[in-house]
Structure 1
Amino acid sequence: MNPSHTPFRDSRPRRLLAVAGATLATAAVLAGCAGGASVATDATAAPTAGGELVIGTYLDPTCVDNQQIGTNASLSVSRQLTDSLTEQNPDTGEVEPWLAESWEVNDDSSVFTFTLRDGVTFSDGSAFDAQVVKDNIDGIVALGAQAPVAGPYLAGLEAATVVDEKTVEISFAQPNAQFLQATANIALGMVSSETAAMTADERCAAGVIGSGPFVLDSYVANDATVLVKRDGYDWAPPSAAHDGEAYLDQITFQVLPENSVRTGALLSGQIDAMDNVQQQDEASVSTGGFSLVTRANPGFAVSVMFNQAEGPGADPAVRKAMMIGVDRDDVLTVLGPTGAATPGVLTSTTPGSADFTDHFAYDPEGAAEILEDAGWVEGADGIREKDGAALELDFPYFFDGPVVELLQQEYAELGIRLNISQITTADFITALGEGAFDATVGNLTRADIDVLRSTLTNAGANWYGLSDADLQTLLEAQAGESDPTARAELAGDIQESVLDNAYVVPLHALAAAYAVRDGVNAFQFEASTRLNMYDTWITP
């Protein structure tokens, strides 16, 4: 029997045998649930409790703290550990009760009052109540720049006030229409008061204590994260297919960075599922005992993001040339199932999305002309120069490697050199904080147009060195607009400004692409396309 809370320990989990070599060369028609949000390979059978699910993942979560780290790898782990005040229904997009059974919002969306559910506890046995919510809100504020996703959700916070044991009021200095949807986001998932009181480093070292259906058993950096089922869990959100405890006994996220190793491990039965399916492996993991499960991410498209405080990224001509100097058909070709076309800065699955593709239509001749007019002339080695300085950008990245390599090739044809370097997530975050980059790739997943403000605001960390006061005014205006139609119009104005100034270069929508073996059922995602393993079960 699993304990209510298993202490975090640094024990090394079972290592998988590294499987190298080519994947199966079987030509197959795409099958399974490609394009869907879940897979049920034994839909006629009743769910069965028990079993271990092993997922091969290409990225280490780095820090198991949903309020600090915003990578897919980290959030898919921490979603299993933490619950939120509300849930955004993955099918309808509606915000529904979860840890809060009801709420009231004042007329200008500046005060939110939540009535909390009874009987909820954290895995350390402590109760969930209004004081815990306040501790979470205050704790995120205390994290400051260490909470790059959660922090902007609380911009303009006046106070989190305990009204009584089961009622908490969260007030803002100005209208904040985005906040209700934000309460469904994993980054605002509730942790225990003990976790909320820790420093950023202490939280990463210990792992968060949540109220979710699983508990962190162990985390070994660049190896594996192991979660175990929590006994007594009984407060799943309305969209869940069952009540009570999760079905799985254990989930292991095994870090296997090499695509061929991950695919080989799945095909040989060493793991049950794998993420980041690449185009060359799509056929072999879509049939013959396997299914492909994909879902496009809402939010801010994967884009080239510039350091606009200094260096080449501060030059509008360079940014504009790079915007129209990349062939997005080539981008989608190298991505396969992990990518989709984006109509603008916001992906097509995001409320407020609109078609801005005319701003970044592929035009290499036009890109070259922009650079020439700005004084960037081709040097002897083919790289452009201006005032004795070569047009080269230091380009660290931690994901989207095939696209980054393509960018390096296509920008070289324009006379732009990218000095690309793949680094760990932790080193990447450090580089952003220190401004030790000229450009990179980035994105942010959220099913709300306020993802624009979270990424582009010049308040807080301002990693990209933006200083456009007019843009900031628009970002703040949409955050305070309660009318959905008016917010969508503001989102269009924001995207127009961003693209006119080439503050970012939209490339593609990120899609979660998992391959799953037969016998794994209800492998699915929540609204922001992070894994939700509560209903998942394994056929005996």
Structure 2
Amino acid sequence: MRRAPLRTTLAAAAVAVAVALLAGCTGATASTSSDDATPSSGGELVHAVPALADGWQQQQSNNWYKSQVWTQLVETLVYVDDEGTVYPWLADSWSESDDGLTYTFQIHPGVTFSDGSALTADVVAHNLDVLGLGDVDKGISRSPMIPLEYEKATATGDLTVEVQLSGPNEGFLASLGFFAAGMLSEATLDLPLEEQAQLENVAGTGPFVLESQTPGQKITLVRRDDYDWASSAFSHTGPAYLERIVFIAVDEDASRLGALESGQVDSIHYVQPTEEERLADAGWNVIHAPYFGTPINLVLRPQADIVDDVRVRQAIQVGIDRQELVDTVYNSSWKAATSAVQQASPGWVDLSDELAYDPDAATALLEEAGWTTVGDDGIRVKDGERLSLTAYTSPNLNTTSQLLELIAQQLAQIGIDLQIRQTDATSYSEVFSASATQLIPTANTFLDIATLKQYWGSSATNQFLLPSGAADTAEWDALLSQVAQTAPGTQERADAAAAVQEAAIEDAYTVPLIDNYQVYVTSPDVHDVTTNAVGRPYFYDTWKSS
């Protein structure tokens, strides 16, 4: 049996996160950061986010905004920090069978849900089955973060759970630390989908509970005074320091920033990159939370018109000047992407040479693909058809409009016309799922690079919409499976991860652009906001200077 590594206390990473708006709240005024390193208990944090959409069933809570509320209410079996270390949390320990097919978890004793019920092995097993298999009768889909190899969980004792996989997947343990793989009470799980989706029915084990809400506008959480089972990844034990957290939805970037600077809120999520240096110079806490996952990238669909030719996709790959994107849209805190995954991710390999800006090579690729004629407007033509592509913005990435506008200028220099279409939270998913969509930006998070199998595998999410049964697809799936079957930290895993990244770049299924961060800005009197490996904030250790 391979045992879980034991690691004790880690000082919580200071990452500022909090944004809050007014509407009946008392916001903190900005002040000089305290030199007193001793946290104080009490106070209210007002945190502003761009949106607070409805739909709180766990598998529906996987977005940047709702997740900031969710992480205060619901906890996971393990915690993965921003260096990739896996810590015990609701599971005190675990073991893995030598064949990688069985995991056994010992559950922390004495944990209770906010509805007063106990966390037992039976409840954990039920949660894991809903996450790994879904609940067909209730219309609940399985979690895309849990490996497809998941078969079942069984309570083998009051606090012992055994999980069976159909095949080895070394990303399974880390996937249990994903914020939307949390443990919910039996009463919550027993509700129909539409009632699970109501926030007032969510009973988790977290250090805060729901006090009140105005749906879509404001959510107030209050501290649980009986909380006492924090992971050793955090810097204290017992109840949270903050008495309350107020989340407020403020959709416009300028309005959120104005609320912060006027003292109406304590912290905000998302600020335009052009504002970051000014805010830092003025004494605000500007936190760039790196995360494991893919960079901001353009997904190219090999079945879509024109980009079905790999040479066109490769021309786009080297026809984009990533450093100009950084210099124009961002600032020196941001970096050009150097691979198909972010540099912060374990398993990253440097492919910056393959991504180097080379318009001459791009031109040669397009001419090899038959786009040899250039019209009076500078756009290439083949068989009477202009080399015109359509790209869509993403509502989940607040700089994609500016990025695409600059990319359109760059691609025009090699004879590609890029038309930009807007999407919103309603239309994005439909556009992203369409095989005819040629280019669309995205950025994915994961706690282990093996999760790329869930994102990119043809039998899973199949983000590139590769045709099932094709020889190239089978080779691609085999590369992803090799990553999942190798242990983190081994040379085998490093080699397998490198092979996947190299193939993704060579086939130009993805065009990496910018290594992404979650940016939070807080007033100077807000301290010790912790973010995990996927940039989500935890306010358990957070406190405010008096």
TM bucket (normalised to shorter chain) is 0.7 to 0.9
Query: Which position in structure 1 is the counterpart of 2:353?
Result: 358
Corresponding residue number in structure 2 for 1:256 = 250
Counterpart of 2:538 in structure 1 is 532
In the superposition, relative to structure 1, how do residues 324 and 331 fare at CA in structure 2: closer, same or farther (>3 Å)?
Answer: same
The Cα shift of 1:499 comes to 1.0
Label 1:317 to 1:226 Cα distance change in 2 as closer, same or farther (>3 A).
Answer: farther
Give the SS at the match of 2:280.
coil
**Structure 1 equivalent of residue 417 of structure 2:** 417
Instruction: Name the residue aligned to 2:458.
Output: 458
Q: 2:480 aligns with which of 445, 451, 475?
A: 475
Distance 1:538 1:346 in 2: 35
Q: Which residue of 2 aligns with 1:393?
A: 390
CA displacement at 1:61 relative to structure 2: 5.2
TM-score when scaled to structure 2? Answer: 0.85
Match of 1:54 in 2: 46
After superposition, residues 20-169 of structure 1 pair within 5 angstroms as 41-60=33-52, 63-90=55-82, 93-140=84-131, 141-142=133-134, 150-169=143-162
**How big is the shift at 1:326?**
1.1
Distance 1:358 1:184 in 2: 34
Does 1:348 find its partner at 2:343?
yes
The alpha carbon displacement at 1:69 in A equals 4.1
Does structure 1 residue 268 correspond to structure 2 residue 262? yes
1:119–1:385: structure 2 CA closer, same or farther, 3 Å change rule? farther
How big is the shift at 1:416?
3.0
2:248 partner letter: Q
3-state DSSP of counterpart to 2:236: coil
User: Aligned partners of 1:262 and 1:395: how far apart in 2?
Assistant: 25
- In structure 1, list runs of 5 or more residues that go unmatched: 1-12, 18-39
Unaligned runs of 5+ in 2: 1-20, 26-31, 468-472
1:514 maps to which of 507, 511, 520: 520
* Distance of aligned partners of 1:254 and 1:152 in 2 relative to their CA distance in 1, 3 Å threshold: closer
Kindly state the Cα deviation for residue 65 of structure 1 after the two structures are TM-superposed: 4.7
What corresponds to 2:171 in structure 1? 178
| Percentage of matched positions with identical amino acids | 32
CA RMSD of aligned residues (A): 2.8
Cα offsets for 1:166-200 (capped at 9, x unmatched): 11111111111111111222131222234334565
Within the alignment, does 1:307 sit opposite 2:301 as a pair? yes
Question: Please, what TM-score do these two structures have when normalized by structure 1?
Answer: 0.85
CA deviation after TM superposition for structure 1 residue 270, in Å: 1.3
Deviation at residue 284 of structure 1 after TM alignment:
3.0
Contact in 1 for aligned 2:273/2:331 (Cα 8 Å) = yes
CA shift digits 1:352-373 (9 cap, x unpaired)? 1111111111112322332232
Measure the CA separation in 2 of the matches of 1:125 and 1:173: 35
User: What does residue 28 of structure 1 align with?
Assistant: none
Q: Deviations over 1:76-110 (max 9, x none)?
A: 321112111011244x5321211011111100221
- Report the CA distance between 1:470 and its aligned residue: 0.6
What amino acid is the match of 1:163?
Answer: T
Provide the secondary structure at the position in 2 that maps to 1:246: coil
Report the CA distance between 1:488 and its aligned residue: 1.1
Cα contact 1:276–1:338 (8 A) shared by 2: no
| Counterpart-to-counterpart distance in 2, 1:42 and 1:77 | 27
Contact 2:128 2:153 in 1 (8 A): yes
For 2:512, the aligned partner's letter is P
Name the CA distance, whole Å, in 2 between partners of 1:274 and 1:352: 31
Over 3 Å counting, the alpha-carbon distance change for 1:133 and 1:525 in structure 2 is same
Residue 373 of structure 1 aligns with an amino acid whose one-letter code is E
Residue 338 of structure 1: how far off its partner (Å): 6.9
User: For the residues of structure 1 that align with 2:485 and 2:354, how far apart are their CA atoms?
Assistant: 27
Letter of the 1:275 counterpart: H
1:367-378 aligned within 5 A: 367-376=362-371, 377-378=373-374
Question: 1:170 and 1:268 mapped to 2: Cα distance?
Answer: 51
How big is the shift at 1:447? Answer: 3.7
C-alpha contact 1:444 1:451 (8 A) present in aligned 2: no
Relative to structure 1, the CA distance from residue 281 to residue 106 in structure 2 (aligned partners, 3 Å threshold; closer, same or farther) is: same
Number of matched residues?
504
Query: Does the 8 A contact of 1:104 with 1:112 survive in 2?
Result: yes
Contact 1:384–1:416 (CA under 8 A) maintained in structure 2: yes
Read off the aligned partner of 1:513 and give its amino acid letter.
Answer: V
Q: Secondary structure at the match of 2:299?
A: strand
Deviates more, 1:369-378 or 1:165-174: 369-378
Sort the Cα spacing of 1:294 and 1:230 in 2 relative to 1 into closer, same or farther, 3 A. same
Contact 2:455 2:463 in 1 (8 A): no
Distance verdict in 2 for CA 1:278–1:121, change over 3 Å: same
Measure the CA separation in 2 of the matches of 1:43 and 1:236. Answer: 26
